[in-house]
Chains A and B, each alone.
Chain A
Amino acid sequence: MYGKKVKLRILFISLLLITLILSVFLILKSLEENVVYFFSPTEIKNFSEIKNEKIRIGGMVKNDSITINSNKISFVITDFKNEINVIYSGSVPNLFEEKKGVVAEGFLKDRNFLIASKILAKHDENYMPPEVKEALEVE
């Protein structure tokens, strides 16, 4: 009886350890692959190379920069030092407006041009994404 119990314990603990190691490994591995990095337009300008990965860019929508037609919206994100053109087709949030904070997610084509797949704006008239605030405060 006792021997059986010890065997069970060992089995139990080793199973536990294996699952633990496996899950930590899996989680870290996919974190590496699936996180989206955030940049300001100025940081993009200083890129040494354009990587083909999804990124987020935050800043203000430049005044008078939104143009719209039936399947595309294009606008300019600025951090008042540098600008980046964004082209987007899809739905926009309520608070997407000129002179308001915005975060665009998508792929860079070159240092001046982002093809966005998602646009985020927050639900508060005074709200500015913390990243944007910081990007603006740097100047």
Chain B
Amino acid sequence: MLFSQIGYYSLFFGLFFSFSLFPIIYKDLKINNNIVSKNIFINVLLQLIFVFNSFVCLIISFVKSDFSNETVYNNSHTTKPLFYKISGAWGNHEGSLLLCLLVLILFIFIFLNISKNQPKKYQIFTLIFQQIIIIGFFLFLLATSNPFNYLFPNPKEGLGLNPILQDPILAIHPPILYLGYIGSSIIFSSSLSAIIQNYVNDVWAKNLKKWVITSWFFLTIGIMLGSIWAYYELGWGGFWFWDPVENISLMPWLCLTALMHSIVVLSKRSILASWTLVLSIGSFILSMCGTFLVRSGILNSVHTFANDPERGIFILFFLFILILVALFIFFVLYKPQKEEKNFFLLSKETSVLINNWFMMYFLSVILIGTIYPIFLEVINNEKISVGPPFYNKLLIPFLVPFFILMSIGPHMQWIKSSFKRINKNLIFLFILSTIFSFLIYNEIKSSGLFTTILIIGVSYLFLVTLRDLFTKNNINLSQRVSHFGFSFLILSIILNGIFSTEITQNMKVGENYKFNNTTIYFEKVSFFEKENYKSVVGTFKIIDNNMKMYLKPELRVFNQPEIITSEADIKVNFFKDNFLVMNIVKGDEFYNVRYQTKPMMLWIWISTIILASGGLINFFVKKKYEK
């Protein structure tokens, strides 16, 4: 009760500091020096402290199970373990928005602190744009989704957190994803500021690159955590379903990836400035669109958030203003500087452009696939869904040229390159990958020509990036690590797709089922009472190609709220996961049993970490060879 009040009024103080900032900025802009006034720092710091305080108050309310707070009442329960009480604070709509707001302020605070060598006006205008976004979030929070609503009479018990969200990975997944989404807000604000200040140049690009990489890093890890969760919790045995919510996180990722490449060109060669600006504005708009589509309930997916049309309209309005402002600044105020004229077809610049084309193509496929159903429903009330076949058909064929170009591209030189650089080594690797593809072809026998070509392409890329990784010099280490991680990821995904097997059967206790070389024995079920759920554990003996193992999938019957979740049992091996999940269908006689073998799963996660860590390396390795 007390903490809810403190948290609520802290928010108002936070908002107050947004407005009090503007007179200070106005005064500071008049002073003709190159140092941002101390008062501005203090103001932003105070704002940060108040919002942080508000967030801590929300967490305390959750920990103390203060059900006079509506958010706590809706999402918590006294019997919930402490860990999930804490993570429950940001596992819901109101709390997650508060967290977003906190991250927005934290990032601008960090930005002000590390950009002191940048022009003063550029810093200040970035702050202004960021504050506009912050005020938008404040108003949104206070007007439509206040986390501190008071309930009277005070309920004795809360409604509980959706059990499917009671999971350690899902506790950290949202904050990390938000760091990625919100990180792009800095890119957005500083791009607009750079346009106004006529500061779109190589120095700016170098400074902004850090933010692009930070945002990209968190987004990558965030998406990966979401996938891991979907893999073991949803029990579908996959890690990517082309679900609208997943697509929405992938779109800014693709945009940021493209931006990360084009910004290098801008920082090294001072070209592609306009394109880089489009990408930086696009990344943030895509992140915001994602929030809009998810929060408004327009998209319907596995993630069920509480939906409220009013919220949707607010975000739509806010988004509309942001896009309008961005377009106005970009088209009216932007004065492109003269770019260098010598641009040769065979150069690193071209290869980056090609990368960007691919990214934009992938992005537009996903964008259309995600929003087309919405348009169709609005226009003629037909309801459709766009599933994996659509994406597979449109994305996979383009992967082959993408792989080939990605293995050649990084070897190009700036300005002008020649084909001489493609040496015998690369041809040798190509032959090696053909052999590899042949071996796989032998293994699966019934495979189309296209699969073979795809495998040749990806294994070639894999070998080339692997070779590059062990090049002795220190140039572009982070790029080489990331490229290696990416090729490894794609290789794992493709092998996983080709070699996955699945058996689904309805079984009674004591039965066994044989299919090809696999026999499943359903030995017994046991029942346990746990802290806030009843647990039903099945014991299965699996003999898979003479390998014997026991798998114990679990069903959790929660009573607050009343819901059943199934926990798959996964035997993680070096090259193959064995995945078993069971479900009650009706009564307790038959269980629906699903056994899958999923090769390379472990490597999908590891390679994603390698991919992301490439970005981190960029911060730590001193680039000796840079001028």
Contact = CB atoms under 8 A, between A and B. Distances in A.
A125 B561 contact: yes
Given A69-B506, A122-B304, A94 B390 contact: no
B1 to A, nearest CB: 28
B506 A8 contact: no
Chain A CB within 10 Å, residue with most, of B304, B343, B385, B589: B385
A36 B387 contact: yes
A73 B506 CA distance: 8
A11 B344 CA distance: 12
B548 interface: no
B365 A27 contact: yes
A71 B564 contact: no
Nearest to B596: A91
B372 A37 contact: no
A21 interface: no
Contact of B390 (A35, A125, A130, A131): A35
A91 B368 contact: no
B393 A56 contact: no
A17 interface: no
A24 B364 CA distance: 9
Chain B CB within 10 Å, residue with most, of A8, A30, A35, A122: A35
Contacts of B343: 5, 8
A34 B393 contact: yes
A34 B365 CA distance: 13
A27 B343 CA distance: 32
Chain B CB within 10 Å, residue with most, of A37, A68, A94: A94
Contacts of A96: 583, 585
A20 B368 CA distance: 14
Nearest to B589: A68
B320 interface: no
B566 A38 contact: no
B572 interface: no
Interface in B215-247: 234-236
Interface in A5-60: 5, 8, 11, 16, 19, 23-24, 26-27, 30-31, 34-38, 56
A52 to B, nearest CB: 16
Interface of B: 162, 164, 234-236, 300, 302, 304, 341, 343, 345, 357, 361, 364-365, 368-369, 372-373, 382-387, 389-390, 393-394, 504-507, 511, 513, 561-566, 581, 583, 585-586, 589-590, 592, 594
Interface of A: 1, 5, 8, 11, 16, 19, 23-24, 26-27, 30-31, 34-38, 56, 66, 68-73, 89-98, 122-125, 127, 129-131
